[in-house]
Structure formats: C-alpha cells, structure tokens
Amino acid sequence: MTRAQIQLPDDVYARARKVCAAREISFAELSRRGLEYMLSVYAQEPAPAKEWAPPKPRRLGWKGLTDEQIKEEAQLTTTEAAYLRRRK
C-alpha cells in the first residue's frame, strides 16, 4: 500500500470527520472508498485512439447561389459588397 498526503479545505475535512464518526470508520478508509467510487464512475478504459480529422463540411448552400458565387461573396470586404449592391 502507498502512503499519500492530501490537502483539504477545513470545512471538507470537518464534514469528512463527521461521516467517519457516524460510520465508525477511519479517515483513511473513507478516503479509499471515495477514491474507489470516483474511479469506478470516471476512470473507464480509454477508447482506442483514432487519428483526429476535422469534421467533413456540410453543404448548407445559399439558395440561388453556386459554390463559385458563394466563394466570390466571401472574398469581398463589407465596403466592396455594399458598393456592388448599390450598382445593381
């Protein structure tokens, strides 16, 4: 068994000591049980690592615009887009 030293806020320590007294167990036993419980809940075997890739883009599209038109619109600055709208 390995010895470990932890630091706890005073209120947490006081509450833990009350639980120990009520259950008639040592602080070490309460700590072990708490850690075992947390590990059973959160420490699951990691899934095999997959090589990460960004998600594939979805085709949301803009009604009436082709991919080329969307690309052209995206490249315009706000000023250029306002100027072109006024010209039409």
| Extents of the domains making up the chain | 10-42
Say which residue, 51 or 13, is predicted with more confidence. 13
Mean pLDDT (the chain, rounded)? 84
Given its phi and psi angles, is residue 24 left (phi above 0), alpha (psi -120 to 50 degrees) or beta?
A: left
- Choose the weakest-confidence range: 27-31, 33-37, 71-75, 84-88: 84-88
Provide the pLDDT confidence category of residue 62 given band limits of 50, 70 and 90.
Answer: low
pLDDT of residue 77: 83
pTM over 0.85: no
CA–CA distance, 88 with 84 (Å, rounded to integer): 7
Spell out the residues 6+ positions from residue 70 whose beta carbon is closer than 8 angstroms to its own: 61, 62
